[in-house]
Amino acid sequence: IFNAVRSKLVAGVEYVSKYLAALHDGGDGPDFNGPNTGGQKSTNIANIIDVMNISRQTPMMIAANLQNWDIVQFLLENGADPKKLTTQYLYTVLHIAIEYGHIDAIDIIFQNFPTAAISVDSNGETPIFKAIRSNNVAVVEYFLKYLSAVNGGADGPDPNGRNTVGQKSTHIGNIIDTQNIYGETPMIVAANLQYWDIVQFLLKNGADPMISTTEGAVTVLHIAT
């Protein structure tokens, strides 16, 4: 299935996943004229498409790194788990989508698995830190809107306009003031990188400029001056 993903062909990935699912179900292979089609998924297909290589990457992670977002969408729709973590950095497919600034892929992940937003990497960082480092205000805003909705007790933002960043959740302060193992908040990270548009955006949405790092007690105000 990894080779099928690298082929960049959704049809190839679909064929291989159906074939493997049929074998796991005890058959000789899929019947492409009847049962065992993509719309009639095997109960084993999630285990098949979430298999990991020696680097603990799933087929979906490979597809995301190759920016094959159609394949990412296909795998998600067939039960792939976006909360699976790699070994080295504890990244998920959401981290990868944020890194490339692919809002459509971020949307697909959030629509299917909104709790993927709270996964934590080896630095104690949730994906919002990755969004900050992308230096893309649109990605940060989109990400924050969803994360706010999830922490507010919903499954995601209201597509009709409620639960937007401008209409803040009561939990939004905790979300944007979360700290990594160094005591850095997303805003401190943005300030260190001199991403002042993002700093301004976070301030407007309630980020606390007085929170300090664990070492040196550095705040955003120290960095700005």
The 10s digit of each residue's pLDDT in 166-188 is: 444 445 666 789 999 999 999 99
Give residue 177's Cα distance to chain centre. Answer: 19
Q: Quote the radius of gyration of the chain (alpha carbons, Å).
A: 20
pLDDT band at 95 (very low <50, low <70, confident <90, very high): confident
Contacts of 65 (CB under 8 A, 6+ apart): 57, 96
Provide the pLDDT for residue 170.
Answer: 47
> What tokens does 116 get?
């993927």
- The pTM of the full predicted model, rounded to 2 decimals, is 0.69
Looking at residue 81, its pLDDT comes to 82
Each residue's pLDDT tens digit, 14-46: 878 777 777 766 554 445 444 444 444 445 666
pLDDT of residue 84: 77
CA separation for the pair 108, 70 (Å, rounded): 11
Q: Is 66 helix (H, G, I), strand (E, B) or coil?
A: coil
Q: How many CB atoms lie within 10 A of CB 129?
A: 23
**Res 36: pLDDT:** 42
DSSP code for 21: H
Centre a 10 Å sphere on the Cβ of residue 162 and count the other Cβ atoms it contains: 10
In the chain, where are the structural domains located? 2-179
- Please write down the long-range contacts of 123-126, taking CB distance under 8 Å and 24 or more positions apart: 123/180, 123/181, 123/182, 124/179, 124/180, 124/181, 125/180, 126/178
The 3-state secondary structure of 102-155 reads CHHHHHHHHHHCHHHHHCCCCCCCCHHHHHHHCCCHHHHHHHHHHHHHHHCCCC
2-179 CATH? 1.25.40.20
Q: Are 94 and 109 in contact (CB under 8 A)?
A: yes
Range name among 10-24, 62-76, 119-133 with the lowest pLDDT average: 10-24
- Tokens (6 digits) for 79: 């039960």
Contacts of 148 by beta carbon, 8 Å cutoff, 6+ apart? 157, 163, 165, 168, 169, 171, 172, 175
